[in-house]
Amino acid sequence: MSLTLIEKIIASHSKYKNVKPGDIVDVFMDVRAARDFGGANVVKNMQDHGLSLEDKSRTFFTFDCNPTGSDQKYAINQHKCRIYAREEGVRVYDIDNGIGTHTLMHEGLTFSGSTAVTTDSHANILGAVGAFGQGMGDQDIAAAWANGKVWFKVPKSAKITLNGTRPEGLSAKDIVLNLLDHFGANSLLGYAVELYGEAVDQMTLDERITIASMGTEMGVITLLFTPNEEVIKYSSERAGREIDLVKADPDAAYEESYELDLSAFIPRVSRPGAPHNTATVMQEEGTPIDSAFIGSCTNGRYEDMVAAADVLKGNTIAAGIVLKIVPATDEIWKQCLENGLIKVFKDSGAMLSNAGCAGCAAGQVGQNGPGEVTISTGNRNFPGKQGKGEVYLASPAVVAASALAGFITDPSRIGLSKVKDIEKAITQAPVTGEHTTSANATTKVVSGRSWYIREDNIDTDMIFHNRYLSITDISEMGQYAFDNLEGYENFAKEVKEGDIIVVQKNFGSGSSRQQAVDCFKALGVNCILAESYGAIYERNAINAAFPILAYDSLQDLSLENGDMLEVNYESGEIKNITKGTSIQANPFSEVQMDIFQKGGLF
């Protein structure tokens, strides 16, 4: 049987010789890691359930979200993890190291054909070296620590081939923003995507990392590159042994195949609110900014630093503009120091911080305030992700040029006059509701009043903002549900026990935070109905025994906000009691029902 790359990797880490899309298999994880964000909750799960480590040599902590320890709650959680690590003999890549997923590649722990899980939702960045990396919630990581493996549904595979000549000056960030512009946030939802083409074969590891990282924003399970000779050499040197190349079979079958003209790709930016809402740089030319950021797991590599330094050298950041720069790892930071890039950054007026994730997950540097407009090399610009202001996404060169100009611009157009700040208003719109019934943890048929939220791509920052991530007590989580979703800031005050949430495509996209599930459990919400879910969110909900169902269409349900619904988890039938209509959704799978009836993964 011919296998795609993801099928080959999963099969080699399972008890099966062959696997196919839809199969649910236990997958052995070569690496099991937890960050300072989520790590304390993993420890809590291990201790609460009396679990022991399956293999401490494969188990790691990576402190990258707040490596300065500048937040008390992060500092407390880091300390909890360190104590556990000392007691159990677990290695800690501490605050002096940098971003965990990059560390796994740097240390030769992940490579072509390997598997890894971590509490980082951008673990699919490991696809850059041909590895299968997955971000998962706290319960999943604890299960991996205890069992060495986790259950996983084999995804469908899609193949994207980039044909044509790569335009001069087109960055890896531009390439992935063009892919997002083409595919959006959910047309490839749940797929494992393999990228091919002559220009792809020539891409450096740093470029592959940028593109693989933003597979998360495309909604894919993973975006995989077949390593070229340079990448295999890198992995072999880091691992201290020869790494064998793992690649898809030549006649592997793909659910979808796409051929795109790379020569037609042009530099792009993502507009505030959604990474897939892109425009050309020239369309946004002149948009005033207040601050700029270069770094993150997506664009904190040495090549990114060089691209920024090439623009900044000999120039000074515009008056009133702040530029923050954060290399991805301490190794890259030292490269910048040894090769004179640090001096270039400081001479230009930039602020430089130690290695880490920076502005994501309420990190150590890179946040912005209300009304502030930032242009960033990060991977996400969801409302509230990098602060209270608005965030544009762009390549390192465009961000550096914009910092010099004071507005969004291309590096070739440096020298235009500086611009003034623009104030932006923030509006809120509350919703109302009434009481209904609730059900216990094993009830297969429930009824409740509907909250019909007609939005796609509601991400985990909208559901449970990153400023609350240090909370580990579920009873405290409910009050923050949806407080970052515009129009639903009062949801937690108005929802009643037993209510049913109905949303649209790609619900729960974004980070791996378990709290985005547990906040609804804390409020007594019966279940969530969506057309599709973010892959990590779906796992977290199933593992927490929180009911979620996927439907194909709501058209025949004639649903309006506040209608009374009845949901059958076993049959998948959804009835609108108010209107006397019904539709058929996907019932619980055997795995979901088993976990649900047990009351959770443990």
Position 368 pLDDT exceeds 90: no
Cβ atoms of residues 20 and 7 within 8 Å: yes
pLDDT, mean of residues 130-150: 96
The per-residue pLDDT for 438 is 38
Task: Catalogue all structural domains in the chain, each as residue range(s) with its CATH number.
Answer: 5-264 (3.30.499.10), 276-413 (3.30.499.10), 445-598 (3.20.19.10)
Q: How far apart are CA 563 and CA 260, in angstroms?
A: 44
Position 425 pLDDT exceeds 50: no
The per-residue pLDDT for 58 is 98
Where is 160: in which H helix or E strand? strand 157-163
Among 397, 57, 113, residue whose Cα is nearest residue 231: 113
What are the tens digits of pLDDT across the range 480-509? 999 999 999 999 999 999 999 999 999 999
Q: How far apart are CA 286 and CA 500, in angstroms?
A: 45
Q: Is the model more confident about 288 or about 421?
A: 288
What are the tens digits of pLDDT across the range 225-244? 999 999 999 999 999 999 99
Among 517, 576, 523, 513, residue whose Cα is nearest residue 542: 517
Q: How far apart are CA 60 and CA 16, in angstroms?
A: 27
Mean pLDDT of the chain: 92
Joined tokens for residue 473: 């007590």
**Beta strand extents in 486-569 (DSSP E only):** 500-502, 527-530, 548-550, 564-568
Neighbours of 169 (CB within 10 A): 14
